[in-house]
Amino acid sequence: MDFFGTIMGPFNWLVSAVMVGIHDVLSSMGMPAASGWTWTLSIIGLVLIIRAALIPVFLRQVSAQRRMRLLQPDLKRLQDKYKGKTDQLSRQAMAQEQMALYKEHGTNPLSACLPMLIQVPFFFALFQVLSGIPAAAREAHGIGAMTHEQAVQFDESSIFGAPLSASVLHGGAGDPAAVLVLTIVMILAMTAAQFITQRRIVARSVPDEAADNPLARQQKVILYALPLIFGVGGVLFPIGVLIYWTTTNLWTMAQQFAVK
């Protein structure tokens, strides 16, 4: 196993174990074990568990956004101090003073991205598990905490005619038109939620009077870049991964509006 596979192994097992556990609970409550909706709710349940565990991190993120906003007048004065100075020593001095300001205020420009960064290993783990399910079903073995029987069950499950393990780019069983339509709908939903969330973050962390400073420009790049990345990358993801990412983006958006 390569280094990346070694690192991701525990995450793959954890993600699949949570999905299987939720699936078993739903099945015991009367939902059909082979239904795509049962597995869909298992993925949504996985999101809810991960995001609930990240609530303390989110609250620290909101606090960091507030500190970043209070920091803007100092950053503006620093920018004015070195305005027009392009030599190497001035750039280094400005960078050092800027880092000292961040340290003094207990924040940094990446603080708003922390919850998303923490989710990245779980996202890749889910991608690997769902992408590996068709092979596991064909080759008579399990994947992570999922048995071969459960892999076959998941591989054959679908919602609205779109298999959960299918993707637009890599294909799969089921109706290709259904896969395309469901993919487009979820890409639109998750990119819209991401855009609204990032606008909220920008409004919290960058005051109007600092709209032209480097931090504001950086935040605006993120504002438009992240939805574009999700939109373009969505055709690579299986339907199950899109369900995960759409749900987590909607959760993030709701959190931003819920917390003052």
Give the model's pLDDT for residue 89. 83
Give the model's pLDDT for residue 25. 95
Identify the domain containing residue 226 by its residue range: 3-258
Give the model's pLDDT for residue 232. 76
pLDDT digits (tens, 9 = 90+) for 182-206: 999 999 998 888 888 878 777 766 6
Half-sphere exposure of 76 (CA within 13 A, CB side): 14
**Averaged in consecutive runs of 10 residues, what is the pLDDT profile of the chain (260 residues)?**
74 91 94 92 92 82 75 79 80 83 74 70 83 85 90 90 83 80 91 84 61 59 69 81 90 83
Torsion from C-alpha of 226, 231, 233, 236, nearest 10 degrees: 160
Give the model's pLDDT for residue 116. 67
The domain total for the chain is 1
Give the model's pLDDT for residue 19. 92
Query: What are the structure tokens assigned to 122, written together?
Result: 């779980």
